[in-house]
Amino acid sequence: MAADLTATAETLKPARRRRGVFGLSWRILGLVVVAVMTAEVLIFLPSIARFRVVYLEQLIESGTLAALALDATPDNMVTEQVKRSLLDNARVDAVVLVEPNKPKRALMNIEPRPSMPGYNLKEQGFFSLIWDALEAMAHDGQRYIRVGGESMRLPKAMVWIVADEWPMRIAMYGYAGRILALSILIALFTAALLYLGLRWLVILPLQDLSSAMTAFRRAPEEAGAERAPARRNDEIGVVDREFQNLQRELRASLRQKSRLAEVGAATNKINHDLRNMLSTARLLSDRLARSDDERTRSLAPTILGTIDRAARLASDAIQYVRDQPAPRLANVDLADLVDEVGIALQEQGEESTPNVVRQWVNAVGENNHVRADRDLLYRVFVNLGRNAFEAGAHTVTVRHQADGGNTIIDVADDGPGVPQAITAQIFRPFATGGRAGGAGLGLAIARDLVRAHGGDIALTETSASGTTFQFTLPFAGH
């Protein structure tokens, strides 16, 4: 308790809310920006491909108009000056119009060459159009390309043009810049809205909850200022309310354990003095047993039994509140240990109630070993056997069987059985089942000792004809 009173002021301070530069809010903001920009890129790729196709289709249409101008001349021939004017207005350097059942019409400032990259818009698919658009933007400098396609004015004709790619590339750069600026604005606006919404709905409640958790971790037994319960019905509201319920339950449990620890410490001191007084009382009872007065001698066994029960009650209480030692595991001969326990229990029974017949049956075969702490395992058998005999059993049988890597041990008696009302809490401390003279700690101590070995214990059968307790221990082999 002195250590609790000297707690530093810093330990009791409420936890400060951590606001890191790269906290959850900023990470969410970054993820939103990345997600929106990724979506914009996925939208941009087909958009820039479509922009290039539309640009080339417009060149094909204007080239078609230039080629159709030849129909206005008597011999489909124009002067060099008119040809240049038509091609400049069409923004192409050559155009060839191929129409079924009609002569080919052509205007050329530059002769098409096989080395020029060629594109047929009628034969290109979705992904090839995207690739061609990206390739065009990545190319540097002037480059002439040959492009073929259909004209809206002459659906059955095939039109081929030769054009400088540089003007189209400049237009594509401008379009990409506008898309990029719009994407950034959309990303920032969307991210800001999501950031504010998530911060209000998620981040701030989580920060308050984490601060409360940190404060509770630093001083779990201090009640502090109770926060108002969250009115939200979503997951965060449920978590907040459940955490407040957990805080209250843990604080109550810790206070109870602290009180039990204080009671245990006080009981340990009382037990020391009590045992000294009981020892003196036993010596006096021994003198009464040797008294010349027959009536006095007849009272001596009752007094001795009462003193023994009081001493055992104090001893069991101390064993329960005291921290159990860590088992020192070794190979233990199970049959030999069970025999030793049986001798001790029968001697105790003869001393307390010599007129009652008790049988301790060792059904464990020879050369059966377990990995256990012999002293602690001895206490397990003593507690189970003593409980059985004190409950009214005349015969207790100890059996065992191997199950994989464990040894299963049954301790069965022919007593009246455990009352149905307490079977669920039979291993809880101070659960006596209405039996007089007991502290209700034997089974609780036995359970703690078995669990310290890595096993467990359970009530497997109880009726008017007897009760069976079963526990497991690591198997050591033969």
pLDDT over threshold 90, residue 358: no
Please compute, for residue 414, the number of CA atoms within 13 A of its CA located in the half-sphere on the CB side: 9
Q: What is the mean pLDDT of the chain?
A: 79
> What dihedral angle (degrees, nearest 10) is formed by the CA atoms of 56, 58, 64, 66?
-110
Angle at 10 between CA 4 and CA 16, to 5 degrees: 130
Residue 11's pLDDT is 40
Residue 273's pLDDT is 62
Residue 270's pLDDT is 64
Q: CA–CA distance from 320 to each of 121, 148, 339 (Å)?
A: 90, 96, 25
Band the pLDDT of 306: cuts 50, 70, 90.
low
Neighbours of 56 (CB within 10 A): 21
DSSP string, 159-224: EEEEEEHHHHHHHHHHHHHHHHHHHHHHHHHHHHHHHHHHIIIIIHHHHHHHHHHHHHHH-TT---
Integer Cα distance of 148 and 124 in angstroms: 11
Residue 280 CB-density burial (10 A; 0-12 exposed, 13-18 middle, 19+ buried):
exposed
Which run of H or E residues covers position 471? strand 466-477
Residue 155's pLDDT is 83
pLDDT tens-place string over residues 131-167: 999 999 998 888 999 999 988 888 888 999 999 999 9
Q: What is the DSSP letter of 357?
A: -
Integer Cα distance of 320 and 326 in angstroms: 15
pLDDT tens-place string over residues 60-84: 999 999 888 887 777 767 788 888 8
Please compute, for residue 226, the number of CA atoms within 13 A of its CA located in the half-sphere on the CB side: 10
**Mean pLDDT computed over 247-253:** 79
Residue 195's pLDDT is 79
Q: Which of 210, 244, 242, 240 is nearest to 224 (CA)?
A: 244
CB 454 within 8 A of CB 410: no
pLDDT over threshold 50, residue 416: yes
Mapping DSSP onto H, E and C, the string for 264-289 reads HHHHHHHHHHHHHHHHHHHHHHHHHH
| Lowest-pLDDT range of 173-182, 220-229, 312-321, 414-423 | 312-321
